[in-house]
Amino acid sequence: MYKISLLDISDLEEAYRIEVSTNPSPWSFDNFKSSFEVGHHGLVCKEEGRILGFLIFSPIRPEAHLLNIAVKESEQSKGMGSLLVKSMFSQCKAMGVKKIFLEVRISNEKAIKFYQKYGFQKDAIREKYYSGDNPEDALLMSIEF
Ligand SMILES: CC(C)(COP(=O)(O)OP(=O)(O)OC[C@H]1O[C@@H](n2cnc3c(N)ncnc32)[C@H](O)[C@@H]1OP(=O)(O)O)[C@@H](O)C(=O)NCCC(=O)NCCS
């Protein structure tokens, strides 16, 4: 059974491994460490103690920025991303957040469908948002409560 809990510093290695295997321009391990150190909020989804997915967001009330979400490839489309997003919604509402925004690669149809299912609207395109080895435009999306 899946269990959602707060991301702990001891979870960073496992979260990083999922990130590297699912993201064409992954966060570095240092990105994970500094995100934790600056106080971003993190959630993990575990099964029998193993991390299968994570979500990281930054609340800057009354808004929040969804910074990263990933589910281990073999475990995708089984409802784990949904559990993570719903937990973020609960936390954000309890904190008085009124709007959540995010960026997603324009070609990432699966993630865009996923966000739309949870009420995120397409707002704008940010050209050349992603650089490096896999340059691409970003779609900006948001949801208001
Ligand atoms: C995007 C992601 C987090 C979704 O998590 P997930 O656990 O796979 O999603 P869920 O199983 O909770 O699916 C919820 C909804 O997402 C959409 N979805 C899921 N898998 C899909 C697929 N293969 N194709 C199209 N839509 C899909 C559907 O709307 C689905 O609802 P449904 O089951 O009623 O059809 C996950 O696929 C992932 O980690 N992708 C790689 C990393 C990534 O792209 N992160 C986003 C960066 S912005």
| Cβ neighbours of 132 (radius 10 Å) | 8
Check residue 48 and give left, alpha or beta (phi > 0: left; psi -120 to 50: alpha).
Answer: left
Q: pTM of the prediction?
A: 0.97
DSSP assignment, residue 28?
P
**Domains recognised in the chain with CATH numbers:** 2-144 (3.40.630.30)
Separation between Cα atoms, residue 55 and residue 99, nearest integer Å: 17
* 70 CB within 6 A, ligand 1: yes
| pLDDT mean by block of 10 residues, the chain; 145 residues | 96 98 96 98 97 97 98 97 98 97 98 98 97 93 97
Taking the CA of residue 105 as reference, the ligand 1 atom at the shortest distance is 48
Whether 128 lines ligand 1, by a CB cut-off of 6 Å, is no
Residue 133 is predicted with a pLDDT of 84
pLDDT of residue 10: 96
pLDDT of residue 32: 98
**144 beta partners:** 99
